[in-house]
Structure 1
């Protein structure tokens, strides 16, 4: 019977040439090694040096040694991952990583013209993402957790290991005789993800041994529901016009109105309203029955306001 990692890679058909995001940890080391075995000469690695901890130079050195061993070209991207005021450290690091991955892949000086990027998130990461979304009262978009494939910045992005438990990746690396580095921040209990991993996942494994599989199935159901909501929102936006007409918005049911407003703000203006902000906007829309009624509401980095018979968003 094939190892879960091998089975996952059997189903993985990336657009080549491929780049792998390489942190130096077990997950990305396993992904890079497995991909190098399958697509020699069609691979590149990208390492993001966050500069946030003393061990960062050691991560880079491990990645350089591993890529030299595998004869895989490596790009090292140094970023400033310090959080902005009000931004979580995890979010700041994640945003910096994605920007660095895109910049490296699209670099015209790269030895290989990258078409796609693979990231090493695995089944435990997916469960953690789902539990975090539940703890925040997320809707179906949040419960869909991490997609296995998407497009961004002209690149195809993949997460081929979402059905492979993290421990199995480590077992596979040991069988290959390959080492990795451990990020000390993974043991820091100040981070909610680490507490989930250390305290909650072992209990779930005792109560529900198949929880990784069943939770992933729930996330796939949520992802399908989100796709349907997006299709409905696109249809509604075509009827509402751009900018959206207030009277047409008022004709929609509250749930459909909320769906199209959320989609309009996210897709057209890269802003996601909180539940309270969205409810307030709907309240103002409902009350907007006279020509002189004003709508003004701060959402994200800008403001929704009335302009004539429509609503507009501006920074």
Structure 2
């Protein structure tokens, strides 16, 4: 059995299912394989980013593919221009996720204009090569276990079940699957732009890894899975410790923790309560100041993320700058 068919056979989403459909090879293979398995239960959502001249052509291609196969399609146009301090990739990613959520929540109609069941699951087409690239980028940034866990295969968000069913399928296998069925796709010109680090990894590093470690996709995936398990354990420990020290946390109770647990619970507190993540340097400074806070007049006021952590009597507090 072809790896694409094998992956979709093992895929068990709640139906109806929506597929994020760019028109590229990856999402084309995912959409058409899912449609073949669950005819009438699959929809497509195309996000028009408006960032390049080819975007209108992508939309037309997606409309033609969906019309030819009788797949309901929604097209969402977004403004993916970045905000100050935001990377272009992050701006596009955040806009894309929001558009997918909003499209999934809308009413869906068939060709006869009859209402269809609401979408319950969303599938994204990232594959094994994308996962390796994500892991290598995380390594280059010195990420911890949460970052080295790379992309999850399943999670929940905004009332939807989200899946990446192709994470164990190499990118070339997706193109092979389409070519065997005489199906076409569009090529995003930015995918060959060597100005993007991810594209340089794909073009220069992956071929070398293929020669030296032919099984690197599966072995890297195992490492990411181990990191994901470790990250889950750290999350459970942090949640337990935060319950013990309080939120906002009491300085005296924080000081009773080991260095590693103190850093872990402070990171969790800031992320879960305020949606901000300290840098490694900021977290190190905060841990040192918590341990040093042994007198009534000791002041803590440290820049963390988008705001500041400061001492308020017996507790730590955070406020947005």
Unaligned runs of 5+ in 1: none
1:307 to 293, 304, 312: 312
Shift of 1:71: 1.0
1:184 to 175, 185, 189: 189
Tell me, in whole angstroms, the C-alpha distance in 1 between the residues paired with 2:145 and 2:52: 35
Tell me, in whole angstroms, the C-alpha distance in 2 between the residues paired with 1:285 and 1:50: 45
Which residue does 1:154 correspond to in 2? 159
Which residue does 2:149 correspond to in 1? 144
SS at match of 1:54: coil
Shift of 1:286: 1.5
Aligned runs of 1:68-79 on 2, under 5 Å? 68-79=67-78
Shift of 1:12: 0.6
Tell me, in whole angstroms, the C-alpha distance in 2 between the residues paired with 1:105 and 1:282: 43
CA contact (8 A) 1:128 1:193 kept: yes
Determine if the alignment matches structure 1 residue 198 to structure 2 residue 232: no
- Report Cα offsets for 1:172-231 as digits up to 9, x if no partner: 000111100000000000000000000000000000000001000100000000011111
Tell me, in whole angstroms, the C-alpha distance in 1 between the residues paired with 2:300 and 2:290: 7
Which residue does 1:251 correspond to in 2? 256
Which residue does 2:91 correspond to in 1? 92
Determine if the alignment matches structure 1 residue 3 to structure 2 residue 2: yes
Residues 291-300 or 30-39, more deviating: 291-300
SS at match of 1:82: coil
Residues 4-13 or 84-93, more deviating: 84-93
Could you state the TM-score of these two structures normalised by the residue count of structure 2?
Answer: 0.95
Which residue does 1:208 correspond to in 2? 213
Residues 35-44 or 20-29, more deviating: 35-44
Determine if the alignment matches structure 1 residue 57 to structure 2 residue 62: no
Which residue does 1:235 correspond to in 2? 240
Unaligned runs of 5+ in 2: 110-115
Which residue does 1:217 correspond to in 2? 222
2:172 to 167, 171, 175: 167
CA contact (8 A) 2:247 2:269 kept: no
The size of the alignment, in residue pairs, is 314
CA contact (8 A) 1:22 1:29 kept: yes
What RMSD over aligned residues (CA atoms) do the two structures have, in Å?
Answer: 1.1
SS at match of 1:189: coil
CA contact (8 A) 1:44 1:112 kept: no
Determine if the alignment matches structure 1 residue 286 to structure 2 residue 291: yes
Tell me, in whole angstroms, the C-alpha distance in 2 between the residues paired with 1:109 and 1:126: 32
Tell me, in whole angstroms, the C-alpha distance in 2 between the residues paired with 1:303 and 1:45: 43
Which residue does 1:46 correspond to in 2? 45
Tell me, in whole angstroms, the C-alpha distance in 2 between the residues paired with 1:104 and 1:191: 29
SS at match of 2:43: strand
Tell me, in whole angstroms, the C-alpha distance in 2 between the residues paired with 1:51 and 1:80: 7
Residues 264-273 or 143-152, more deviating: 264-273
Could you state the TM-score of these two structures normalised by the residue count of structure 1?
Answer: 0.97
Which residue does 1:66 correspond to in 2? 65
Residues 269-278 or 137-146, more deviating: 269-278
> Segments of 4+ in structure 1 off by > 6 A?
none
Shift of 1:292: 2.1
Which residue does 2:278 correspond to in 1? 273
